[in-house]
Amino acid sequence: MAALDRRAAVARLFSNRADDLLVVTGLGSPSYDVMAAGDDDRNYYLWAAMGAAAMVGLGLAKAQPQKSVLVVTGDGELMMGLGALATIATQKPGNLTICVLDNGHFGETGMQASHAGMGVALDKVAASMGFGWTADIADMAGIDDLRARLSARDGVRLARVRIKAENPPRVLPPRDGVHIKNRFRAALGFAPI
């Protein structure tokens, strides 16, 4: 099956971004991809806590049911917190979409083969856990379809997006966790303590 250029796929997913789309990114390349698509106060970039991105997205989705929440993460990051898919499936937040950029490798650490690369299909895992919509995307038409669904808020979704195993130049998001927390909250109208 063909695979997409990760930067091009993420840029397409973020084109004509809706005002009410809130984004959480998993550490490593997915954070760089989202940053490359354009920094935004409504992005929360993780720089640590591998395995936590999906759960940050769940907490945000439950606290902000009138907004759409998109988690963009990698297959290795999601795999480290795989139980989160079960927790999310029990909650079924209609406004949460997880986009897994699946290159089948640990891209940040030297391109070692990952579980997804050795045959674990994360979209099928999510479907078996009870996600209402899953997809296995390998072309731009699939990205366009995913983008169109982000604002629907009609059920929890997970898309596996097949990307090439390559590391484009890093585009680093801010590393000050307090800063990105406070600017994200400010974008939603919440003051610092």
Partner 1 sequence: MPHDDPPAPDAGWQADVFEVLKRHDVRHVVYVPDAGHATAIRLANADESVHAVVLTTEEEGIGYLAGAWLGGERGALLLQSSGVGNCVNTLALTACARFPLLMVVTMRGDWAEFNPWQNPMGQATEATLKMMGVMTWRADRPEDVAPLINGAATMAFNGDSACAVLLGQRLIGEKQWVK
Q: What are the distances in angstroms from CA 117 to CA 56, 103, 105, 121, 138?
A: 25, 7, 6, 9, 15
Shortest Å, Cβ 168 to partner 1: 25
Beta bridge partners of 160: 100, 136
Shortest Å, Cβ 81 to partner 1: 7
Using CB under 8 A, which residues numbered 85 to 144 contact partner 1? 86-87, 90-91
Q: Which stretch binds partner 1 (CB under 8 A): 40-48, 101-109, 114-122, 134-142?
A: 40-48
Give whichever of 124 and 179 is closer to partner 1, judged by the CB atom: 179
User: What CA–CA distance (Å, rounded) separates 38 from 137?
Assistant: 23
User: What CA–CA distance (Å, rounded) separates 99 from 93?
Assistant: 15
21 binds partner 1 (CB under 8 A): no
59 binds partner 1 (CB under 8 A): yes
193 binds partner 1 (CB under 8 A): yes
180 binds partner 1 (CB under 8 A): yes
Helices (H), 64-175: 75-80, 83-91, 122-129, 140-149
